[in-house]
Structure 1
Amino acid sequence: MSARIDEQHPLQVLQEENFRLRAELAALRDSERVFHALLDNAPVLISTKDLRGTVTMANRHFDILDGYDAAHFVGSNVFELFPHDIAEQLWRNDRKAALEKRAVHEEEQVYHTDKTLHTYMTVKFPLLDAAGEVVATCAVSTDISEAKAARIDSVTDELTGLKNRRYFNIRFAEEQKRAHRDQRMLTLLLIDVDRFKEYNDHYGHPQGDLVLQTVADAMHVTLCRPGDLSFRIGGDEFACLFTSNNVDESVALAEMIRDYMAAQQMPHEANLPYGHVTLSLGLAFVPPDSELGQGAIYELGDQALYRAKHKGRNVVSC
């Protein structure tokens, strides 16, 4: 009986299988080339870490970072590669992405080789095995320092360097939510230069600008903890937002600002009985579980400021 004409010779089958495998391998190599080209040329930081915080892959753009060493970066733990405070923020976001099994979008800061601090917008997401378990995290980071600087300029008071009312309105709700989450008391401090119109009328606006800059200095010196926020609301009106453990701590910080300004002994003949520039300060306290909105809280601070003025100025009032 003759062989069926549609049967393939074993050698032909092997040749076709070999051809198919070669084609798949070539496609895979093309894919790898594309992958590595993206890693090497995309102007972003791309890396992966295992669940212990050890870097398992990093593209070449990491050479822009301070302290980068190509021979040791991959295989080292994040706490070995970065200063502790920076490593903590990086690892916290990795852990969040791994534990919650979702992409996390956060701003992160790292130092470049020129020792400048840069801000990156980073998305971190979990990498899963075949069973759906998290085995690592991947991070893709884009430098947003210039864009952030431009945004900051739009919310910064040019004279004092403090943030302006626009930024105050942006941050107020955020800080209230943060205080609620951390179960800490939020304090709103309002500050007014006593008899500032009379000062400008007598000493001139250039000297008035110097007074406002000195108020900003007093705020910077006193409220210098992470999370402390200071603003120039407008004219000679200033505001601060900060958390504290209790009312006494908040009052003490306000008194430090008042004392700093009084110690400058800037002459102000119309500000009797003191004869120098002084501040009136009003405090409003926001418990962690308060349901008051920004307008109501600001009104409480404004009322406290009015009481300070009514008491004779150069006073902290609650």
Structure 2
Amino acid sequence: MAALRSSEAKYRLLSSQLEAIIDAIPGLVFYKDDRNNFIRVNKYLAEAQKKRKEELEGVSLYDLYPREEAELYYQDDLAVLASGLPRLNIEEPWDTLDGTRWVTTSKIPLIGDDGRRVGIIGISLDITERKQSDRLIQELIQRLEKEKAHAQLNALTDGLTGILNRRYFDETLKKEFSRAKRFGNSLTLIMMDIDNFKNFNDRYGHVSGDDCLRQVATALKIIIGRAPDFVARYGGEEFAVVLPDTDLEGAVIVAERLRKAVMALGIPHDKSDAAAQVTISLGIATVFPETVKSPEGIIELADKALYRAKHNGRNRCEVALEKGASGDSGLRDTSGFVRLVWHSSDASGNSLIDSQHRRLYTLANKTLATKLAGCETSACLSHMAELVAEIELHFKDEEKLLFSARYPAAAEHRKIHAELVLKAKHLMDRLAGDELSVGDLFNFMADDMISRHMQIEDRKFYPYFRQEA
């Protein structure tokens, strides 16, 4: 008997010590049977339910929580009982009388005296403060990301006009130039300047000048639209437009839209020598990277074209051809349409070739002007036929001279001629059927004939003529 009483005393002591340990754990400790009833809980769980520990013993979770929620807890318990494996650190919401809190719960099987799994032992640690801290940290991160994005945007945006700034222009032009070089695409740069802007500031004041810059920038941005095309403030009253993968014909159309959009603003400017309202001059450069070696090269071309636009009366577009051309060769907008212009600096060194080149420019301008003016197809066809005949005659004469001068690539040059003649005749057939657009006609004359052939291929044999001279 004495031994039994001693054992019972030890058991009570151990039970009391275990109870003290469980109550000291800063979390929710519970034993449950396999029917979802509490066997034992610690004081923290009892306090959360606003009951004494004894009141919760034998109580089912179905008596404390909505049935769906209690069922979820029970199914989780059954999974532990079935597998015999612990489930550790499961984050879950916990509804209390004081509101919802967050806990991380771990459960292990409760083993009976016979070695069977008879329930579960669980502990839930309150992580509400940590979750709140995590949420606050995430909100802070999101706020910082927004502020970072805003700062980055400000770093690339012109403070006065709200459009992209010079830094963005410099960085993106380099990227687009590299991309064009990698894929062999064309790249267009349009530089533009508000005409007589200093006079505008002197006449109307700098506040009006700033407002003028904002209105012009907005008008340009509306025309340019979405990426990858973009407009940026280059500096002062100068703006720049970059048009990746855009040919010369498309560039001229865009430039003319920009010019007209600014005029349509109707901002009075009685100190301008170009018009009674604010206008812009534009310089266009459309290049292929194999002929222009750096982004600075296309800027130089567009700047020279812009200078010519201002020199020739302002409120107009000038187009520079590729770098293989002289700085003065290009397209000039006079009398309301784009006109191809031959300059003495384009001279080959052979009088026959030069005179025929000038003749081709003249006939090309006549054909283009007739088409742009909306004349009858018969009139356009007459000029086109004259142009095609002149092209064929010029190519035959040029080939004789090339073989005579023993130009190494004469045979290859003849093949290029044959392809151009075929294309010209095909365009004439389309013109006869009223199927030829101004854009296609312009592309053939400005791009195929002048930019690619005369300004690049023909220049390869010029030294042979000059040697003979």
Would the alpha carbon gap of residues 178 and 149 (structure 1) be closer, same or farther in structure 2, given more than 3 Å must change?
farther
Aligned counterpart, 1:195: 196
Q: State the Cα deviation string for residues 275-308 of structure 1 (Å, max 9, x = none).
A: 2111000112231545521222211111110010
Which amino acid in structure 2 is aligned with residue 250 of structure 1?
Answer: A
Paired positions, count = 197
Map of 1:168 onto structure 2: 169
Q: Does 1:243 align with 2:238?
A: no
Tell me if structure 2 keeps the 8 A contact 1:244–1:250: no
Contact 2:188/2:246 (8 A) holds in 1: no
Counterpart residue identity of residue 158, structure 2: D
Q: Deviations over 1:76-135 (max 9, x none)?
A: xxxxxxxxxxxxxxxxxxxxxxxxxxxxxxxxxxxxxxxxxxxx9xxxxxxxxxxxxxxx
In the alignment, the residues of structure 1 paired with residue 183 and residue 88 of structure 2 have an alpha-carbon distance, to the nearest angstrom, of 51
**More strand per residue: 1 or 2?**
1
> Cα–Cα, structure 1 residues 190 and 273, in superposed 2: closer, same or farther, change >3 Å?
closer
Counterpart of 2:185 in structure 1 is 184
- For residues 286 and 305 of structure 2, the distance between their equivalents in structure 1, rounded to whole angstroms, comes to 11
User: Are residue 219 (structure 1) and residue 210 (structure 2) matched?
Assistant: no
| Displacement after TM superposition at 1:160 (Å) | 0.7
Shift of 1:264: 2.1
**Contact in 1 for aligned 2:164/2:233 (Cα 8 Å):** yes
Q: Distance in 2 between matches of 1:252 and 1:246?
A: 10
CA distance in structure 1 between the partners assigned to 2:201 and 2:255 by the alignment: 25
Amino acid at match of 1:316: C
Q: Distance in 2 between matches of 1:182 and 1:306?
A: 31
**CA distance, structure 2, for counterparts of residue 171 and residue 148 of structure 1:** 18
Partner letter of residue 173 of structure 1?
Answer: K
Q: CA deviation at 1:245?
A: 3.8
**Bigger mean CA offset, 295-304 vs 251-260:** 295-304
2:227 and 2:199 map into 1 onto residues whose CA distance is 36
Distance 2:245 2:223 in 1: 13
The equivalent of 2:153 in structure 1 is 152
* SS in structure 1 at match of 2:147: helix
Cα distance per residue 1:228-279 (max 9 Å; x no partner): 1111111101111112441010111011010011122221112125221110
- Pair 1:292–1:265, CA change in 2 (3 A): same
Shift of 1:219: 1.2
Structure with bigger RCO (C-alpha 8 Å, 6+ apart): 1
Give me the whole-angstrom Cα distance separating, in 2, the residues matched to 1:257 and 1:161.
18
Structure having the higher helix fraction is: 2
State the partner residue of 1:204: 205
Aligned-partner residue type, residue 261 of structure 2: Y
Identity of aligned residues (%): 38
**1:176 and 1:42 mapped to 2: Cα distance?**
45
Distance 1:229 1:42 in 2: 40
Secondary structure in 1 matching 2:200: helix
**RMSD after superposition:** 3.3
Partner AA of 1:149 in structure 2: H
Larger radius of gyration: 2
2:190 partner SS: strand
CA contact (8 A) 2:196 2:273 kept: no
Which residue number in structure 1 is paired with residue 268 of structure 2? 267
1:20-31 pair list within 5 angstroms? 29=88
Matched residue of 1:151: which SS? helix
Structure 2 unpaired stretches of 5+: 1-84, 92-103, 105-126, 128-132, 320-469
**1:218/1:260 contact within 8 Å kept:** yes
Q: Which residue of 2 aligns with 1:3?
A: none
> Structure 2 CA distance, aligned partners of 1:145 and 1:171?
23
1:284 counterpart letter in structure 2: A
Write the distance in 1 (CA, Å) between the matches of 2:168 and 2:232. Answer: 8
Cα distance 1:295–1:31, how it changes in 2: closer, same or farther (>3 A)? farther
